[in-house]
Homo-oligomer: A and B are copies of this chain.
Amino acid sequence: MENQEATSRFLRACHRQPVDATPIWLMRQAGRYMSEYRELRKSYGILEIIKNPELACEVTMQPIHAFDLDAAIIFADILPPLEGMGLSLEFVKGEGPLIHNPIRSAADVEALRTPQPEESLGFTLEAIKLARRELESRGVPLIGFSGAPFTLACYAIEGGSSRNYRYAKSLMMSEPALWHRMMAKFSVIVGRYLLAQARAGAQVLQIFDSWVGALSPDDYRQMAMPYTQQAISIAKQASVPIIHFGTNTNGMLELIRNAGGDVIGVDWRIDLDVAWGRLGPHVAIQGNLDPVALFASWSELTDRAGRILGLAGGRPGHIFNLGHGILPETPVDNVRRLVDFVHEYSSRQANNQTGEEYDR
């Protein structure tokens, strides 16, 4: 373990070691709610930024310059790996991602390529190297990430966002053998990509299974979990902590945990202590403020953040985060103050004070 890792709050929390204050970072912390990012977006599209390592590094650093965050996350998106697989990806203004040739047939599945990440995603690996260098002096660790096999497959089949995941789930239910062949490809793509990011310098890896809450526990167990496990087992070769995040998974949290990960990310739809109780003592936990709380008044926001810290009870292994990505119009001032509040409130907790007299 490097010296920096031993002293970083975030990495210590990933290992469930005691910290001086609860670490905090925010999913999608580099993004649209920041004026610096919106300014850059006037000149560049999302994919242009992602594919330009200097720009991706710059965006990665924007929230680090602005706030006292305990981790950076490389600016990227979960969808670019689909391009290397042979899918044509576009971010349509105001509509979100669109895949022009979604997977709909056996031939489409057979045609999926599994290139090495160095070949198809070199820009993000390069951005990681650049960002790591900039972060080093600040002692802020860098997170690499990927979508989980199920969530990536859903995008690839639906061709974009979806309400009911009808095409993806129909393929899964109607052609299980084809589904398994396809998922094996996604698990290799995801596992290798995560591993390559760690080798490029990412000190923690997060696997986003944002859409897995569309599945029943039994479907998850049979049709998605083995591929998340496979991806994680490949990524584990790098020996960095892995955060495993999903939403709407409160009917099957134990399965999510069993799929792997040192830290389990939970959404706000469950009390943190209840979630941690179900997950058990052998994993750290990340979460779980409702992203909309950042639009509330300062006293309301601190009530909510303080409640979550109270439910975590200062137990080693809590990483404060939102329960899902930060929303585009979030007031920047509330982000700054939340980050500071989490540090100050939790360091009082760590000093065995109740924190209740914290001056809001």
Contacts and interface: CB of A to CB of B under 8 A. Distances in A.
A267 B252 CA distance: 13
B173 A327 contact: no
A68 interface: no
Given A269-B217, A271-B218, A327-B166, A293 B251 contact: no
Contact of A295 (B174, B217, B269, B290): B174
A170 B269 contact: no
Contact of A173 (B174, B271, B293): B293
A252 B271 CA distance: 8
A271 B251 contact: yes
B291 A270 contact: no
A259 to B, nearest CB: 16
B307 A218 contact: yes
A297 B174 contact: yes
Interface in A168-224: 169-170, 173-174, 213, 215-219
A307 B293 CA distance: 40
Interface of A: 164-166, 169-170, 173-174, 213, 215-219, 248-252, 267-271, 274-275, 290-293, 295-297, 300, 304, 307, 327, 329
A290 B213 contact: no
Contacts of A248: 213, 248, 250, 269
Given A217-B270, A251-B269, A170 B307 contact: no
Contacts of A219: 290
Given A217-B269, A217-B270, A295 B250 contact: no
Contact of A292 (B166, B267, B292): B166
Nearest to A213: B269
